[in-house]
Amino acid sequence: MSFQHIVPVRPGSGNTPVFLVHSIAGELTWMKPLASHIPPEWPLYGFAAPGLNSDVPFFFSLEAMAAAYLQDIRQRQPHGPYLLGGYSMGGVVAYEMTRQLQAAGETVGLLVMIDAFAPRPDIAEIITSWSRNGLLMQVICNQLALQWQADQLLPPDALPRLPFTEHSICAATHLLGHCRVPHTQQALQNYLRRCQWLMRVHAQLLADYRPRRLSEAVEVLLFRNTLGLIGRNSALALPVLPDGQRDPPHGWTNLLERPPCCVDVEEEHFLLSSEPAMGLIGRELEKRLQEEPRS
């Protein structure tokens, strides 16, 4: 069985499979630590964004992305109930997948949102600006720096404002100079360049997306950061942002038939993909999966 977009993180034929969607950067590195906290009888599949590992066309809308991912899911699992979710932007895509499945007469048993925020203009404006001013590239660079045990992180405002195309080159140069990179310089630059373009495209998809209310009630498990999008003294050396009045359900209340089950995770948004945050997420998700009917 071949898929166009699915990445088999831990394939299997035991219980109902869990399908999780990538973040705004399009990658799935966070799924490996998550899988280590979930029993092996639960097959895990992820979605890596087109354009991350090769120069292929991007999606023109978030709805089209959700529809394409669903084609792969229904090839692996023809009928529901489905177990869907995603990290950050991935949670929004999973929400749209849920809406499309309901419109097709299918059911979703569980929707998992890992710090996913309901799209709205102010959030879209922030994310779009981050995709252009280099902050998201700094996030990716310093996540890799921590992974590869760099002796120095890329500091705020280290990337040039213009030209935009220099961001990935500067980030690659920093990583090559401060840690042992398990890739060639050209491979690293190509990867960061594709991440950079994907984040810009995905930011625009989020800005253009207008979510519609689900037609039926769905069990939603929402993991929420407690330290903000960027926390004070960020481990990623990110600039501190003002954190105004926070909406505990991350803006999903008016789109759901019943409130989500919220689990607080003591971490900032961009570090939920690391330990110990991912361990907590995995254990809480395992508890919820144990309540699901066995296939």
Tell me the DSSP string of 38-78.
Answer: S-TTS-EEEEPPTTSSS--PPPSSHHHHHHHHHHHHHHH-S
Structure token pair of residue 188 = 């690293």
User: Which of these ranges, 21-25, 167-171, 226-230, 238-242, has the smallest mean pLDDT?
Assistant: 238-242
pLDDT for res 283: 94
What is the residue type of 88? S
Measure the CA–CA gap between 264 and 239, rounded to whole angstroms.
23
Residue 194 to residues 167, 176, 275: CA-CA distances in angstroms?
11, 18, 26
Instruction: State which CATH number among 3.40.50.620, 3.40.50.1820, 3.90.1300.10, 3.10.110.10 fits the domain covering 6-119+210-289.
Output: 3.40.50.1820
Report the pLDDT value the prediction gives residue 57, as an integer from 0 to 100: 73
- pLDDT tens, position by position, 86-118: 999 999 999 999 999 999 999 999 999 999 999
Is pLDDT above 80 for 241?
A: no
Question: Does residue 194 have a pLDDT over 50?
Answer: yes
Give the residue with greater pLDDT, 232 vs 263. Answer: 263
* Torsion angles phi and psi, residue 74, rounded to 5: -75, -15
The rounded distance, in Å, linking the Cα atoms of 22 and 27 is 5
How far apart CA 231 and CA 264 sit, in angstroms, is: 15
Worst-scoring range by mean pLDDT, 17-21, 239-243, 256-260?
239-243
pLDDT of the residue at 240: 72
Q: 288 pLDDT exceeds 80?
A: yes
Average the pLDDT over 123-152 and give the result: 90
* Residue 229: alpha-carbon gap to chain centroid: 14
Average pLDDT over residues 156-173: 86
Q: Which residue has the higher pLDDT, 295 or 240?
A: 240
Nearest to 69 by CA among 115, 41, 101: 101
Q: Residue 133: pLDDT band by 50, 70, 90 thresholds?
A: confident
Give the residue-averaged pLDDT of 159-167.
Answer: 82
In angstroms, the CA 108 to CA 4 distance is: 22
Report strand pairing: 220-225 vs 6-10: unpaired
Distance from CA of residue 216 to its chain's centroid? 24
pLDDT of residue 246: 56
**Average pLDDT in the chain:** 89
pLDDT for 141 equals 94
Pick from 77-86, 88-97, 155-164: least confident: 155-164
Which residues partner with 267 through β-bridges?
A: none
Radius of gyration of the chain (CA): 18
| Cα–Cα separations (whole angstroms), residue 156 to 163, 175, 238 | 17, 15, 6
Mean pLDDT of 27-52: 89
- Report the chain's terminal Cα–Cα distance, integer Å: 20
Omega before residue 276 within 30° of 0, cis:
yes
Instruction: For the chain, give the percent of residues with pLDDT over 90.
Output: 60
Check whether 10 has a pLDDT greater than 80. Answer: yes
- What is the pLDDT at residue 160? 84
pLDDT score of 245 = 46
Tell how far CA 148 is from the center of its chain.
21
Q: pTM for this one? A: 0.93
